[in-house]
């Protein structure tokens, strides 16, 4: 155990900004657009380096998506960035009609996702965005867990031909995934191997799942931890292989119950290899104002709740 250690707290949105700049140096077709959130999404380095490839659209996400779709038709690879709540819910019709329907090569950069948007409150907290995006045919949905993985996912999104929804958060979180990683779209990663229960997590909850794994080990439980950084397309093979071994699963995510990763995996499991499951998520509720730490604790999105869910699901296993 303890294969993964915290190298320090870093911003996932900083990983996006650094990945975007590196991708743009690699490929001159990449352009960036934002809705008056250049600094918040750490797109400033890109804008300073490539001002002729940067478009400030103002607080007008619907228009920005239309501009991005047009740029894609013209052969560019646009990254359109805003807060997750505004670039999913506010512009869903434009994303469906102008990007998903024609499979335009547009990358939607969704920052400040989940409860960790913090003090801005429920109006700014995207807890339904995964449900919206994974419902769109052909839309890739990525939810990396730390700075390093977000940077790698941004580079992978830039190289992928088709629409991508790239989701990341606001606060600093532990940076622990390999610095030399190559992000593979559609691949879940087994971070810790175990035989007693499978902990499936995405985004900020991956580190909490690793912490839960350590706590469970002290109790004599061997938990397998899987980082589901690609929500769509789902890595069915890796997930089912683990569940055939452990026979019990916990799914943890910073998203509402409805339409999230938990329901997606439950649908897979019930069709193939039914096992008892428990879920750690935001339930059927909006968020509220508070610090990221306060809100994650309020919603039960932490290692302690993952441990209790694991103990509960193991007691249900036949």
Indicate which residues carry an active-site annotation: 61
Sign of CA dihedral 88, 93, 97, 98: negative
DSSP letter string over 75-126?
Answer: T-EEEEEEEHHHHHTTTHHHIIIIIITTT---EEEEESBSGGGGGG-GGG-B
State the Cα–Cα distance between residues 72 and 65, nearest whole angstrom.
10
Q: What separation, in Å, do the N-terminal and C-terminal C-alpha atoms of the chain show?
A: 27
State the Cα–Cα distance between residues 129 and 113, nearest whole angstrom.
8
Distance of CA 233 to the CA centre of its chain: 13
Tokens of 155: 């580079």
For 199, phi then psi, to 5°, come to -105, 110
DSSP state of 118: G
């Amino acid at each position: 155990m303890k294969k993964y250690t915290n190298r320090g707290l870093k911003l996932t949105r900083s990983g996006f900004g650094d990945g975007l700049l590196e991708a743009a140096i690699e490929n001159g077709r990449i352009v960036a657009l934002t809705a008056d959130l250049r600094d918040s999404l750490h797109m400033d380095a890109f804008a300073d380096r490539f001002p002729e490839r940067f478009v400030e659209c103002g607080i007008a996400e619907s228009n920005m998506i239309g501009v991005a779709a047009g740029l894609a038709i013209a052969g560019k690879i646009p990254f359109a960035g805003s807060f997750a709540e505004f670039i999913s819910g506010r512009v869903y019709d434009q994303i469906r009609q102008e990007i998903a329907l024609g499979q335009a090569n547009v990358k939607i950069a969704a920052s400040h996702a989940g409860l960790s948007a913090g003090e801005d409150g429920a109006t700014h907290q995207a807890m339904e965005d995964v449900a919206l995006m994974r419902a769109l045919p052909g839309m890739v949905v990525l939810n990396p867990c730390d700075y390093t993985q977000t940077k790698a996912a941004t580079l992978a999104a830039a190289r992928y031909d088709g629409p991508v929804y790239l989701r990341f958060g606001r606060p600093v979180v532990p940076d622990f995934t390999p610095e030399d990683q190559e992000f593979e779209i559609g691949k879940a990663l087994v971070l810790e191997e175990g035989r007693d229960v499978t902990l499936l997590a995405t985004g900020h909850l991956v580190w909490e799942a690793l912490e839960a794994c350590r706590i469970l080990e002290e109790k004599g439980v061997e938990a397998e931890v899987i980082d589901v950084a690609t929500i769509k397309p789902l890595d069915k093979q890796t997930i089912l292989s683990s569940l055939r071994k452990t026979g019990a699963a916990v799914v943890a995510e910073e998203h509402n119950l409805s339409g999230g990763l938990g329901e997606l995996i439950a649908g897979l499991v019930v069709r193939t290899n039914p096992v008892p499951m428990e879920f750690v998520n935001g339930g059927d509720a909006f968020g509220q104002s508070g610090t990221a730490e306060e809100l994650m604790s309020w919603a039960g999105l932490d290692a302690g709740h993952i441990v209790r869910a694991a103990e509960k699901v193991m007691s249900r296993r036949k």
